[in-house]
Copies of this chain bind each other. A is one copy, B any other.
Amino acid sequence: MSSNLEEIKLPLILVNFKTYSEATGIKGLELARKAQEISLDTEVSIAVAPQYTDIKTIADEVEIPVFSQHIDPVAQGAYTGHITAEAVKDAGAVGTLLNHSERRLKLSEIDEALRKAKSVGLTTVVCANTPSVSAATAALNPEMVAIEPPELIGTGVAVSKAKPEVIKQTVSQVMGVNSKIAILCGAGITSGEDVSAALKLGMQGVLVASGVVKAKNQKVALLDLANPIREAAK
């Protein structure tokens, strides 16, 4: 692992801004500031994954970790319209999501993107839709795997409560391949109860999007998610 890799504190709440209008441009910056405020208040690790065009502004303004939502498995050079590890690192990101169910990659692309990410010291969270895909991902040695059954994404029905067996199988299969990987879960996470359930299943964090971004009160939603982690740390 690259020596310039910044430590991401676990358990982690990773907020994916997707391309929601509620998290684009100035609204993205405001959400990142709210995430920072709750992180400081609760001492819970919260990271944000804004859109590419907002990474620099947000990374310049907040101290919490900023992730890219994706990088392409390409070098710097003649790759019009691509997003490189170097570009997001230069803009201030310290990590990146890869293979989100809305941006799935070829297996060989994940392998190559992980090499690119590591070469510049980006922490990597690879998303997976099934326990077996999670295990396959673990063999590629990212820092974290995030299990997200796609059928629950955006539903408000939390994977940690509705599909505990998927999480248990993921833990079992991932650990069989690579015991150093931190496992997050996502899909439908909207409340502190969902986070509690995830922690009890051995998760080291959650990946959340609409549950925060589209919440009536984003700060209240963030605080609700952070509380079980704060409690567990006491």
Taking beta carbons and an 8 Å cutoff, which residues of A are in contact with B? 16, 18-21, 24-25, 51-57, 69-70, 74-84, 86-88, 90-91, 97, 99-111, 128-130, 132-133, 135-141, 153-154, 173, 176-177, 209-210
Contact A81 B74 (CB under 8 A): no
Contact B153 A19 (CB under 8 A): no
Chain B residues lying within 8 Å of A135, measured Cβ to Cβ, are 139-140, 177
Contact A78 B102 (CB under 8 A): yes
Chain B nearest Cβ from A210, distance in angstroms: 7
**In the bound complex, how far is the Cα of B87 from the Cα of A56, in angstroms?**
14
**In the bound complex, how far is the Cα of B87 from the Cα of A21, in angstroms?**
9
Chain B residues lying within 8 Å of A91, measured Cβ to Cβ, are 25, 53-54
With both beta carbons as reference points, the residue of chain B lying nearest to A22 in the complex is identified as B76
Chain B residues lying within 8 Å of A107, measured Cβ to Cβ, are 99, 104-107, 110, 128, 133, 136-137
Chain B residues lying within 8 Å of A82, measured Cβ to Cβ, are 19, 102-103
With both beta carbons as reference points, the residue of chain B lying nearest to A76 in the complex is identified as B21
**In the bound complex, how far is the Cα of B106 from the Cα of A109, in angstroms?**
8
Contact A24 B80 (CB under 8 A): no
**In the bound complex, how far is the Cα of B167 from the Cα of A37, in angstroms?**
51
With both beta carbons as reference points, the residue of chain B lying nearest to A59 in the complex is identified as B53
Known interface pairs A77-B18, A133-B108; A139-B141 also in contact (CB < 8 Å):
no
Chain B residues lying within 8 Å of A53, measured Cβ to Cβ, are 52-53, 55-56, 83, 87-88, 90-91
**In the bound complex, how far is the Cα of B97 from the Cα of A81, in angstroms?**
9
Contact B132 A141 (CB under 8 A): yes
**In the bound complex, how far is the Cα of B25 from the Cα of A88, in angstroms?**
9
**In the bound complex, how far is the Cα of B139 from the Cα of A84, in angstroms?**
28
With both beta carbons as reference points, the residue of chain B lying nearest to A16 in the complex is identified as B80
Known interface pairs A21-B76, A53-B55, A133-B108; A81-B70 also in contact (CB < 8 Å):
yes
**In the bound complex, how far is the Cα of B108 from the Cα of A106, in angstroms?**
8
Chain B nearest Cβ from A150, distance in angstroms: 9
Chain B nearest Cβ from A88, distance in angstroms: 6
Report, nearest first, the 5 A-B pairs whose CB atoms are least far apart: A70-B81, A81-B103, A52-B52, A25-B90, A135-B139
